[in-house]
């Protein structure tokens, strides 16, 4: 069994959404270590005006979840990593 290469991990970050400066993590739709496919909704975040589902940027496994529900997270912050 090979050791995963941390340099290959792909970050899932909070995208820029208009003038929003931060979001609140509402719910993770997958568990850490779960397999995901590119485009799959993995986490729901809330802005001042709406709830938004963020999609996985790649296929692989959710390797590290850097936030938990109810955390306030700035735009650009890494929420998790995808280990392809």
Residue 52 belongs to a domain with what CATH number? Answer: 2.40.50.100
Total length of the chain:
84
Cα 70 to Cα 4, 24, 30, 31, 57, distances in angstroms: 30, 6, 16, 16, 22
What's the N-to-C CA distance of the chain in angstroms?
A: 15
- The predicted model scores a pTM of 0.87
Structural domain including 79 reads 6-83
Is residue 1 situated within a structural domain? Answer: no
Does the pLDDT at position 47 exceed 60? yes
As a whole number, the mean pLDDT across the chain is: 91
Of residues 37 and 8, more confidence is placed in 37
User: What pLDDT, on a 0 to 100 scale, did the predictor assign at position 33?
Assistant: 95
């Amino acid at each position: 069994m090979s050791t995963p290469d941390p340099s290959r991990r792909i970050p899932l970050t909070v995208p820029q959404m208009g003038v929003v400066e931060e979001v609140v993590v509402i719910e993770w739709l997958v568990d850490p270590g779960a397999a995901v496919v590119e485009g799959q909704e993995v986490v729901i975040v809330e802005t001042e005006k709406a709830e938004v589902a963020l999609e996985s940027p790649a296929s692989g496994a959710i390797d590290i979840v850097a936030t938990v529900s109810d955390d306030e997270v700035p735009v650009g912050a890494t929420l998790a990593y995808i280990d392809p």
